Chain A
């Protein structure tokens, strides 16, 4: 029970937060939750399957466009939201079968290429709004209830984050999860012990895509507008930064990494838009933050913040016991 205490505290704390937040802070809360969902998937992918994906935002985009297109064509929005993770995962399976033969930097560039191709196709697809974007996406409604105000989206995101974390946690704790951990520490050894390496890698890839797709679906309903420009390559890199900074392969790491980066960038954004600051200040500051954090963490805390803190706590606890 004591081990669950932090999780329960964070869960209750974040649940109580939305009514206390003002408009712009609520937006940060919602976008933060969406980023956590994508990062959890990416963290599993990078931490367990050992795959760097520089195209994670493409699954976010596919989820968004799936939800957006279905509901623009007057299907019930909830159907769009349910379809978003499924379509993203299906896309990941189709793309992953050839791509996941690649390793390391080859895969990194392949996923980057996948996103660039997708963005350029979407920008030219008139049925998806083209470069101008897809407009007039209705608000999400389930049954008779319409998610009209920001607070309702905040709770929707909260629930989606909890769902994502629970699914991820149960998968990590399951038999396939143990196989994945074996895969992370040594692919050849895992394969020799009977872990179906290829299938598991594909499954994690699809799972991470499903998480990103669900987040993208919520994003579409929340903003009501999607454009290829909302999903730049830099967004994919941001997710990598969040996953790496927090700690790969740990759920807490994804949570901490995404929260730290989003809040930090938000603070700097506020700072950068102060009167007297030059117009380029916000973008310069956020680029610098992503870069400096990523580089410092990779060099000095190669396993990420959460594992480093955890190791220190364990050390202190054990030295205290002696």
Chain B
């Protein structure tokens, strides 16, 4: 039972990270129909920025917040390239963001080198139900809960959120009523960048981050987002948590080496199921 709880908590922790990366994908995809392959890079950039800022003496909190802001800035830049030129089809934007993800490698290696980075999170351990675990997990879970509630409120209750949703459901009609869809698209990229950045800042204390860690994050995030058809944030949260917990149980009770496969097989299974339900003609073209 104690083991079970232990695995559950670590699983929920890493699941939250996948959910955050996935929600960034969802925000961008909802508004622009672009699947942003660079979503994992925002996390890596923010993680590296935070480690540098902390090393240079900035206090915790401020360093992480600035790193998330840098993630948002990176998101905005990716958005400018990916959708800034009018008439770029979403399929081409996937390739563009793929290119930008590789470009991020160049920037990251140039600035931070190719060695893994880490920094300390919330210090200390917490005891719960007879299990001790790093207090940092509580921060991850809390921050994720706040962010998902905030995103839901943003989309449902604010004018900006309604404008974003309008672009998502009918870009033409959104333009007719005076919504600047390119600006909304860029805004969604900025939010996506911040969400990715937050994921990176939160995960670094429990996981060494190298410049190519973005592949793990993007695959996990995409797997989470696919649960909600790349459109629904709440399903993404559920998907991310399921994924994290499944990985943690496989690692705990089975073989730690098969963690990555769990995410991949789950991803394939969900996509197959969705493809079997929706006829090909209704799916998005390449």
Contacts and interface: CB of A to CB of B under 8 A. Distances in A.
Given A113-B219, A113-B268, A283-B114, A103 B109 contact: no
A106 B100 CA distance: 19
B102 interface: yes
Interface of A: 50-52, 54, 98-99, 101-110, 112-113, 116-117, 120, 124, 187-188, 233-234, 237, 240-241, 244, 280, 283-285, 287-288, 290-292, 294-295, 298-299, 302
Interface in B252-269: 257, 260-261, 264-265, 267-268
Given A109-B219, A116-B264, A50 B98 contact: no
Contacts of B109: 280, 283-284, 287
Contact of A112 (B99, B219, B257, B283): B219
Nearest to A232: B212
Interface size class of B (residues with CB under 8 A): 35 or more
A181 to B, nearest CB: 15
Given A291-B99, A294-B99, 15 more contacts: A50-B286, A98-B268, A101-B280, A105-B35, A105-B284, A116-B215, A117-B264, A280-B109, A280-B113, A290-B99, A294-B96, A295-B81, A298-B88, A299-B85, A299-B96
A244 B95 contact: yes
B114 A299 contact: no
A113 to B, nearest CB: 4
B102 A234 contact: yes
A294 B91 contact: no
Interface in B77-106: 81, 85, 88, 91-92, 94-96, 98-100, 102-103, 105-106
A188 B282 CA distance: 10
Contacts of A54: 98
Contacts of A112: 215, 219
A106 B99 contact: no
B95 A101 contact: no
Given A233-B215, A283-B109, A287-B102, A106 B275 contact: yes
B264 A299 contact: no
Nearest to B101: A291
Given A110-B268, A120-B260, A102 B95 contact: no
A125 to B, nearest CB: 12
Contacts of B88: 298-299
A101, A110, A280, A291 — most chain B CB neighbours (10 Å)? A291
B271 interface: yes
B272 interface: yes
B81, B106, B257 — most chain A CB neighbours (10 Å)? B106
B286 A51 contact: yes
Contact of B260 (A104, A110, A116): A116
